[in-house]
Amino acid sequence: MFKDGKVLLATDFSKNAEKLVDSLVKLKDFGIKNVLILQVLENDFGSLEAVEYAKKADKKLLENSRKKAEEIGMKAATTVKEGKPYKEIIKTAEKENCQLILLASHGGGVIKEILLGSNTRNIIRKSKVPVFIEKFRDENNNKKIAVDSIQKILLPLDFSGSTDQVLEMIKRMSKPSEKIILTSIIESSDDLQELNEKKEITEKKLKDIQNKLRTDNISSSYDIEVRHGDPAQNIIEIAEEKDSDLIVISTKGKGNLKELLIGSTAVKVAEKSPIPVLLVPVKKNNR
């Protein structure tokens, strides 16, 4: 997906964040060959001495992560920044020309350490760089999470300008996936005839997209799913039913409210999905 690309791996050395290095294996299939491992120290240490102590204490952990990344075939480097986590993560990713930001989360929600809710939402909504949120097995959940390769990809589409961006990203994959599930969630209606008409129109649009992807040899097989109701809930249900390895979704959809409504489905999916989610930001001229 990203030829000779670079990923920014944001870590706070929590249990799941440390597992992120292992996730680099699957990103190699996407063309990622370089990783910059970032730790952000928040501005609440109280003194310069305390900040320096924290940097030294974590230096060994960063070095271990770097070596581990190199062992799986990545060119790796490390860096430490000070400030608000979401701001430093976004700023560093853009400055270092990273093609992807890699964050950790639990299977049912975003981690509760540095990358707490509001920080992650800010990264999702404000980053110009795609964000990959990894998921790990919950101790109380036996579902398969964090597989080593990505074979089944779920693409939720709403046919807005963001759809083209998501499809272009999929077309840049370094190798074909085993299966792509194309889905679109339509609004519920008490009028059964109207609902069926919407479903028929939507299925046709998805089949047209399927044919284009098939022509480009993006995947060996396809599924089409059209449902109605709550978008985020339906997307997650389809992902589980189809045993998907990854959800690729735009952070912008149909709507005009920049921070409140636009991207709310993507945020809900990122928080509640039991499988990894790749969030694709949309360029201004495509919103």
Q: Is the pLDDT of residue 263 over 70?
A: no
Task: CATH 3.40.50.620 in the chain: give the residue spans.
Answer: 5-136, 152-286
pLDDT band at 262 (very low <50, low <70, confident <90, very high): very low
Closest to 178 in 3D by CA, of 215, 153, 155: 153
pLDDT in tens, 87-126: 999 999 999 999 999 998 753 444 443 444 677 788 988 9
CA distances from 110 to 31, 128, 213, 234, 265 (A): 26, 20, 32, 20, 15
pLDDT in tens, 148-202: 678 899 999 999 878 888 888 888 776 678 899 999 999 888 889 999 999 999 9
Are 30 and 1 contacting, i.e. CB atoms less than 8 angstroms apart?
A: yes
Answer yes or no: is pLDDT of 286 > 70.
no
DSSP labels, 232-284: HHHHHHHHHHTT-SEEEEES--S-S-TTTTTTHHHHHHHHH-SS-EEEE---G
Q: Which CATH architecture has domain 152-286?
A: 3-Layer(aba) Sandwich (3.40)
CA distances from 168 to 82, 100, 153, 173 (A): 35, 15, 14, 9
Fold of 5-136: Rossmann fold (3.40.50)
| DSSP tag of 219 | B
Residue 241's pLDDT is: 96
- Confidence (pLDDT) at 46: 56
For residue 236, give both structure tokens.
């997650």
Q: For 10-45, how does the pLDDT look when each residue is reduced to its tens digit (9 = 90+)?
A: 988 777 777 888 889 888 877 889 999 999 888 665
pLDDT at position 43 is: 67
pLDDT tens by residue, 206-247: 999 999 999 888 888 999 999 999 999 999 999 999 999 999
- CA 194 distance to own-chain centroid: 34
pTM here? Answer: 0.86
CA separation for the pair 125, 104 (Å, rounded): 17
